Copies of this chain bind each other. A is one copy, B any other.
Amino acid sequence: MIYADFNGSAPICPEVKDYLIKRLEEGPFANPNAIHYLGAKTLMGMEKARKICGEILGADKTQVIFNSGATEGISTIFHSFLHPAQVKGRTKIIISGIEHSAIHNTANSYIERGFSVHILKTHPNGIVDIEELESLIAHEAQNIAMVAVMAANNETGIIQPFEEISTLCKKNNIKYFCDTTQYFGKIEFNFSESSLDYAVLSGHKIGALPGTGIMLAKDPNSIIPLIIGGGQENNLRGGTQNYIGNETLAVALTAFSEKKEKLETINSKRVEFENKIKELHPEVVIIGQNSARLAGTTYIAYPGIHGQAVQIELESQNIFVTTSSACSDNAPVTSRVLKSLGVSDEVGRAVVRITLSCCSPLENYDKILDALDRSYNRLKKIQGY
């Protein structure tokens, strides 16, 4: 079996699996806030995990806030930025057209609270139009409540100029949030070296347990908690902590940090794979082919051959890919992200997303190449090319 849907979700990584089996056998299991020894031991394990996560992500442990995943992080940061006490009459939310639906839907949920949502254009190369943002800031900086442009797109893998946007927003005293969900575990990143003030991470994207996550905040006191509880996570995120899940985040991040030099090899192999498939099928379109992308993301279309047909063909050869994002509507239409890039419906309906990670065996690309070639040839015949 070849799993090629790492942008959708990473399987539990072997290190996490081994850790969990041992962890379940040994315990302890207790409320990490309890005053007894079992509670204290549970807390110590979780705090050790927080320290490890911080070290790998380039953050102080006080900047690591455990939560249930990136979507919760996103909702929390919008809640913090747009809180009546913070927003001071500003009403415009600026997001890009290629944001994940979590950002899109969260921004839109504030319309009934009196905000408006402006969608930034995207260049055909898949990169958000910074000049449009600059122009908006020049004209109405005082009314911009926040800007959200992601670090790397989940469908295309195209990396956005987030450091530039961050600097631009800082210069103009505008709150900026960068959705880093697809970035972590797929590229080198150091929070303290980045100009970003916030970042979000989902455990299920990096091989940890699902339902786990981290929100990073340079100034944790700027967070207004969305889930309010009994003072956990320094009063920033209520609810008895998911201590086992949080430990798996440390294990998965450690495993990543030990394998991350493989990212470059995966990246070269991915470029080679894309070139080869284009040699075999010159009609093929690689979305964002000339843009900087995450190491293992290929978003590929054979115009006229339906993406879902290709996905099913590949599945019959035991290769698991998706058409667009897991969260997108499964309806066979061009995704919102691709529409933002000005991609035609002929291409938009034809895409499949092939995403590997630094844990994937390199030969997977050879096997996918063969299978994709066979699938295209077979489907071309059926569709009467």
- On A, residues with C-beta under 8 Å from B are 3, 5, 8-12, 17, 20-21, 24-25, 27-31, 33-39, 67-72, 74-75, 84-85, 100-102, 105-106, 109, 112-113, 202, 204, 209-212, 225-232, 238-245, 308, 311, 315, 320-323, 325-330
Contacts and interface: CB of A to CB of B under 8 A. Distances in A.
A68 B72 CA distance: 10
Given A24-B21, A210-B240, A327-B33, A227 B38 contact: no
A100 B230 contact: yes
Identify the interface centre among A35, A101, A320: most chain B CB within 10 Å of its CB: A35
Contacts of A11: 27-30
A47 B227 CA distance: 26
Contact of A327 (B27, B109, B229): B229
Given A33-B326, A75-B238, A227-B72, A84 B100 contact: no
A162 B5 CA distance: 47
Contacts of A71: 227-230, 238-240
A231 B68 CA distance: 16
A101 B38 contact: no
Given A30-B320, A112-B85, A210 B243 contact: yes
B228 A75 contact: yes
A229 B105 contact: yes
B35 A323 contact: yes
A127 to B, nearest CB: 23
Given A9-B29, A31-B8, A229-B105, A68 B330 contact: no
Identify the interface centre among A25, A30, A239: most chain B CB within 10 Å of its CB: A239
Identify the interface centre among A29, A38, A109, A315: most chain B CB within 10 Å of its CB: A29
B228 A102 contact: yes
A320 B245 contact: no
B17 A24 contact: yes
A30 B12 contact: no
7 contacts: A5-B34, A5-B38, A68-B68, A75-B238, A101-B229, A101-B231, A106-B229
Given A8-B39, A106-B228, 13 more contacts: A3-B38, A9-B31, A12-B24, A20-B20, A72-B239, A74-B228, A75-B238, A84-B112, A102-B238, A105-B228, A105-B229, A209-B242, A210-B242
A207 to B, nearest CB: 9
Nearest to A240: B204
Contacts of A243: 210
Contacts of A17: 24-25
A231 to B, nearest CB: 6
A192 B211 CA distance: 28
Contacts of A240: 9, 69, 71, 202, 204, 210, 326-327
Identify the interface centre among A20, A31, A231, A308: most chain B CB within 10 Å of its CB: A31
A270 to B, nearest CB: 20
A230 B101 contact: yes
A237 to B, nearest CB: 9
Given A24-B20, A211-B245, A242-B210, A37 B230 contact: no
A298 B8 CA distance: 47
